[in-house]
């Protein structure tokens, strides 16, 4: 798929970067002229994926997180969040609502939220090597003024 514009960011899995990552994603997505609701959905999806890197990929150390956003034809925004951490044994199970290995601090709703806030969610993972989460959300092209 040919991209029309992109950004690529890399940062350590410090929790303070969760807010930075979603703000950066929103700032980049703004050029698609999204509604506030669409912007909120993008921020939420990015927050979930980046938080998973901090919490699950690198549970007791800091590691690299990569966030890439691409704008493709027709207002399609692709969001990729990649880590080189612990990986997921059973992706199908991990994506089920309420499934968590995170204990009482987590609700097991991250993937469910990513799925309902985007049009497409793909999770690729290999244990011990890392996880790549790819999401696509189409921003409706608005007619009229603006």
Ligand X SMILES: Nc1ncnc2c1ncn2[C@@H]1O[C@H](COP(=O)(O)OP(=O)(O)OP(=O)(O)O)[C@@H](O)[C@H]1O
Q: Is 140 exposed, middle or buried (0-12, 13-18, 19+ CB in 10 A)?
A: exposed
By CB under 8 A, name the binding residues for other proteins. Answer: 15-16, 18-19, 22, 36-37, 40-41, 43-44, 47-48, 51, 54-55, 97, 104-107, 109-110, 112-113, 116-117
Backbone angles phi, psi at 88, to 5 degrees: -120, 125
Q: Is 106 a catalytic residue?
A: yes
Residue whose C-alpha is closest to residue 54's, from 21, 23, 78, 28: 21
Residues 38-67 that bind ligand X (CB under 6 A): 48, 52-53, 55-57
Active site residue 17: no
Report the residue number, 32 or 50, with the smaller CB distance to ligand X.
Answer: 50
Just list the catalytic residues.
Answer: 48, 52, 106
């Amino acid at each position: 798929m040919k991209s029309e514009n992109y950004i690529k960011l890399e940062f350590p899995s410090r929790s303070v970067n969760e807010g930075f990552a979603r703000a950066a994603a929103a700032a980049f997505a703004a050029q698609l002229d999204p509604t506030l609701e669409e912007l909120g959905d993008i921020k939420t999806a990015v927050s979930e994926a980046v938080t998973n890197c901090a919490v699950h990929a690198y549970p007791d150390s800091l590691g690299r997180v990569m966030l890439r956003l691409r704008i493709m034809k027709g207002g399609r925004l692709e969001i990729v969040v990649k880590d080189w951490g612990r990986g997921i044994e059973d992706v199908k199970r991990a994506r089920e609502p309420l499934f968590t290995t995170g204990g009482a601090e987590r609700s097991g709703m991250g993937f469910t939220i990513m799925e309902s806030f985007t049009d497409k969610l793909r999770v690729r993972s290999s244990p011990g090597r890392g996880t790549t989460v790819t999401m696509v959300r189409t921003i409706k092209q608005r007619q009229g003024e603006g």
